[in-house]
Copies of this chain bind each other. A is one copy, B any other.
């Protein structure tokens, strides 16, 4: 009965009182779907999270009762919709503890958030020879935009290493840092390994060198929330669809003076002060960076998602996920031939793994047939795959709605995969 006890302590315990996962599961309609006749075990939240009913309903309600284009209208619906839309900007600011809603730029994804910084701040302030430090475990979204600046401007992108456990190496980072470093662009949490990067230290050290820091919070905000002022990062990007919000919306936080110093990104409606063929002037941030009709209903859905996780409590979600992570790690380690990829001391609830002698694609396919949805491949982190010397991994990533039974189903499916494939 050893195992059972460990389940209880891992998943239950203190957090049980504050956070009822079964109740939370009921909020997500998709979780009652059947897949190949089996009930769905969704372990792919790292790619995109499922949506609670309140988010789906917020989007629907917007379209059904008050939808209209925002900012440009003086009629009732337009005003109502603008109010709801801008209210969410304030809620986002509060959620990440930004000084003001003016620090919050609405984008279509964190990918766009990062490209925006590269193409505005980067093109304005960087010159040939300047260095941008990323880590070896970045998502392509936090590599390719900087590589494009390499080609364009001649800046140099340098990758700070990790060790074989997937641990971020602060000492190596310190060595890379130097007077040429103008920007450190680092993920808060690795989407492949789950590694929690010591970003507070990273930021402090970078600032000592006079470099700015952009955090890719795509995974970080989901598992642990964020306080951008406390961290003192210069930019913070995240994406709505991983935070239980709609697809098609992202956020870029920036410090006021930095945002103010940046030229516009895209040109169009809503970001201008005055347009004429003799000269055009632009609005202040955040509107300067928001050309055209924004993702209106998606922002409203994101607002609902933020209210939802706040109501559950980010600490409760984090505690619950840490319990799942501990439980899953223990159970998977107990399976012969399963190798966990990424064993950093501090991890978010993301587990990459391999089965010795089996191709990860085959493993994921067998898991899928058991109703267990995982992701397989390079997870948009090819340099990390190269570093680890693997073609890919199978990744189980947990969300607030996963429970111990999901872990048990995962382990059972892994056993089945071994049986079929080896």
Contact = CB atoms under 8 A, between A and B. Distances in A.
Contact of A249 (B55, B248, B377): B248
Given A56-B63, A291-B111, A277 B247 contact: no
A115 B48 contact: no
Provide the main secondary structure of the chain A interface: mixed
Contact of A269 (B40, B139, B276, B297): B139
A365 B93 CA distance: 32
B33 A277 contact: no
A195 to B, nearest CB: 19
A407 to B, nearest CB: 17
How many copies of the chain does the oligomer comprise? 2
A30 interface: yes
Contacts of A47: 68-69, 72-73, 78
A345 interface: no
A109 interface: yes
Given A248-B248, A268-B114, A368 B74 contact: yes
A372 to B, nearest CB: 8
A30 B73 contact: no
A376 interface: yes
Contact of A294 (B247, B264, B379): B247
A159 to B, nearest CB: 5
Interface string A71-108: 01111111000000000000000000000000000001
A76 B373 contact: yes
Contacts of A29: 63-65
A394 B377 CA distance: 54
Contacts of A264: 148
Given A35-B77, A75-B368, A247-B297, A144 B277 contact: no
A383 interface: yes
B69 A291 contact: no
Contact of A376 (B48, B74, B292, B365): B74
A149 B347 CA distance: 45
Interface in A34-53: 35-36, 40, 42, 44, 47-48, 50-51
A402 interface: no
Contact of A56 (B64, B144, B146): B64
A298 B293 CA distance: 14
Interface of A: 29-30, 33, 35-36, 40, 42, 44, 47-48, 50-51, 55-56, 59-60, 63-69, 72-78, 108-112, 114-115, 118-119, 139-141, 143-148, 157, 159, 239, 241, 246-249, 264, 266-272, 274-277, 280, 291-298, 361, 364-365, 367-368, 372-377, 379-380, 382-383, 386
Q: Can you list the 10 inter-chain pairs with the closest CB atoms, starting with the nearest?
A: A111-B292, A144-B267, A248-B295, A111-B268, A269-B380, A141-B268, A248-B248, A48-B69, A75-B373, A47-B69
